[in-house]
């Protein structure tokens, strides 16, 4: 796992966007795993900027989103369908048929989740998976105690997650209790993983995910076992890292490192 500590959110977003761009430039038909929320928003804005500048073409790209609330129609202002459309898809040239987001209104969740896993395999697997991290260390909606080999499934949200997401709704009572989410096992099969985090509220979760034991209580800690995972964080999110000085040293010396 590589940890890149950035001075600002903008620097973090730019660095992560450049990593995504490197993959797309090498593989124009790459499969991207997408995350929602405020943290990856800057990354998406950078990718849109590159696209509008003629630096990135998304015409062959396929996407799979991590999750979606159960019970919200695609038109709901807090649905992840709407978030992705407003903040990313309508600004780039990904063919609509190549966009995959879990359905929060399907009548057969088990069958849909099985289909989602199958569709990912049919598309060749995910090349780059973008992730955020919850304040309790979860990735996607894989709450504490989720199996580290879990697949796409229906998941009951923890009270802490509902509390964290209540700010996006008119009241806490409006936050859905269930979601469809990719499992930790599904996420770990991505060839490359980029996790972004910012702010003091994420410092404990980042420290446990990066430097703590691998445990289902902190599902992001599973990324320690991934062969190509990079964590992009700002100074505040890095506040609890014990090895912070080393991560800064590695970042400083990386341009001079011998080429492999």
Whole-number CA gyration radius for the chain: 17
Q: Which candidate, 158, 26, 176, 179, places its Cα nearest to that of 101?
A: 179
Q: Pairing relation of β-strands 128-131 and 99-100?
A: unpaired
Cα–Cα dist 71/127, whole Å = 29
Instruction: Give the HSE-up count for residue 141: Cα atoms under 13 Å, Cβ half-sphere.
Output: 28
Point out the catalytic residue in the list 68, 143, 164, 234.
143
Burial track 9-31 (b if 16+ CB lie within 10 A, e otherwise): beebbbbbbebbbebbeeeeebb
Point out the catalytic residue in the list 68, 117, 127, 136.
136
Please confirm, yes or no, whether 138 is among the known catalytic residues. Answer: yes
Point out the catalytic residue in the list 9, 67, 68, 234.
67
- DSSP letters along 168-205, please? GSSSGGGS-SEEEE--HHHHHTSSEEEEEE-SGGGHHH
**Sheet of 178-181, strand order:** 67-69, 178-181, 153-156
The position carrying tokens 């090895």 is 243
- DSSP letters along 52-82, please? HTTS---TT-EEEESEEETT--TTSTT-HHH
Please confirm, yes or no, whether 9 is among the known catalytic residues. Answer: no
Point out the catalytic residue in the list 51, 100, 138, 226.
138
**Sequence-ordered list of residues with C-beta below 8 angstroms from that of 21, at least 6 positions apart, any chain:** 47, 50, 55, 56
Known catalytic residues are: 67, 136, 138, 143
């Amino acid at each position: 796992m590589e940890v890149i500590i950035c001075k600002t959110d903008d620097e973090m977003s730019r660095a992560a966007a450049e990593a995504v761009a490197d993959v797309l430039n090498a593989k124009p038909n790459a499969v991207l795993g997408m995350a929602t929320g405020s943290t990856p928003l800057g990354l998406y804005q950078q990718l849109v900027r590159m696209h509008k500048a003629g630096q990135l073409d998304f015409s062959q790209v396929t996407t799979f989103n991590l999750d979606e609330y159960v019970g919200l129609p695609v038109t709901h202002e807090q649905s992840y369908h709407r978030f992705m459309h407003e903040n990313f898809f309508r600004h780039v040239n990904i063919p609509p048929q190549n966009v995959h987001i879990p359905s929060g209104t399907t009548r057969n969740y088990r069958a849909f989740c099985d289909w989602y896993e199958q569709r990912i395999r049919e598309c060749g697997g995910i090349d780059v998976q973008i992730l955020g991290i919850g304040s309790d260390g979860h990735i996607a909606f894989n709450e504490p105690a989720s199996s580290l080999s879990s697949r796409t499934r229906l998941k009951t949200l923890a009270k802490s997650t509902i509390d964290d997401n209540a700010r996006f709704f008119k009241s806490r009572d409006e936050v859905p209790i269930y979601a469809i989410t990719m499992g930790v096992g599904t996420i770990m099969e991505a060839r490359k993983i980029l996790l972004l985090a910012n702010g003091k509220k994420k410092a404990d979760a980042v420290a446990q995910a990066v430097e703590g034991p691998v445990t289902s209580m902190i599902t992001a800690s599973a990324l320690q076992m991934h062969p190509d995972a990079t964590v992009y964080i700002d100074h505040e999110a890095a506040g609890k890292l014990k090895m912070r000085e080393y991560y800064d040293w590695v970042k400083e010396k990386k341009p001079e490192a011998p080429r492999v």
